[in-house]
Amino acid sequence: SNMGHHHGCGDHSHAHHANQKALLISFFLILSFLVVEIIGGILTNSLALISDAGHMLSDAAALGLSLLALKMGEKQASETKTYGYKRFEILAALLNGVTLLLISVYIFYEAYHRFFDPPKVMSFGMLTVAGIGLIVNVLAAWILMKGDRSENLNLRSAFLHVLGDLLGSAGAIVAGLLILLFDWNIADPIVSVLVSVLVLISGWRVTKESVHILMEGRPVHIDLQEVKNKLLSLSGVTSVHDLHIWSITSGFPALSCHLVVDSRIDRDHVLHEAKAMLQKHFGIQHSTIQIEGEQMKKCTETDICN
């Protein structure tokens, strides 16, 4: 059985490695094209391209963050950072989110001016750049699909970013065609506003989620009351207090609580049952549980302990 177990661990690190490779390739693909798109946007005078580049930037940031999180998460816990560097991913995500919000605001501002006075856009150049962008995104999406998307939150969000980006490039292509065929220069600011709404939404979501985690918010998928009821239903447990559930990083929930137990009960057994239940039902692998007798409870309520 030892061999089988060893093989299992190998599988995990293999998936981890594949994820890293998929992220790295997509990251460089998108980063290099981002530069092309910004230059293209400036040369062809297309705001739609620049806004798509803004979305590409969010993409590159998401991929870079995911890579960084995988790398930093490998760093072991130390005496000063007792959880290791898992939180770093959230700090970086917050920065990413705020940047996206600023980019979208800038594009709205630019588009506002363009609506009243649509400037000439070099549609052919714009079409070319947007077309290449579409291909780059399809490639990146395909590479990420080969990774382990179901387990890894980071990889999934990176994949969604790339899909959003696909839409951005498609939008720029549509705008380019409209300008080329009908000379509708107004299509450029219209598409750029649509794309920056995408940027705004993803920026807001990332910002909200990372602030929630930094504020030690309760993991969205865990119901506090349900956890409390499940703990109370364990044999021997008479009450639950000081229950806290938070996230160390995305997909890493932690819990701490005090359980008051019947004095005749085997405490180690209760502890074992509680931990197993939390892991099985709520996916909480990191729990710290303090077990107290009835006496302790009375004493903390009256503040007189001899």
Task: Please give the pLDDT value at position 274.
Answer: 95
Q: In the CATH scheme, what is the code of domain 14-215?
A: 1.20.1510
| Low-confidence spans in the chain with pLDDT less than 50 | 1-10, 306
Taking the domains of the chain in order of start, what are their residue ranges? Answer: 14-215, 224-293
Task: Please give the pLDDT value at position 108.
Answer: 92
Q: What is the pLDDT of residues 242-285, one digit of tens each?
A: 999 998 877 789 999 999 999 888 999 999 999 999 999 999 98
The pTM of the full predicted model, rounded to 2 decimals, is 0.73
Task: Please give the pLDDT value at position 4.
Answer: 41
Nearest to 219 by CA among 286, 271, 172: 286
Task: Please give the pLDDT value at position 173.
Answer: 92
CATH architecture of 224-293: 2-Layer Sandwich (3.30)
Indicate if 224-293 has the same CATH topology as 14-215: no
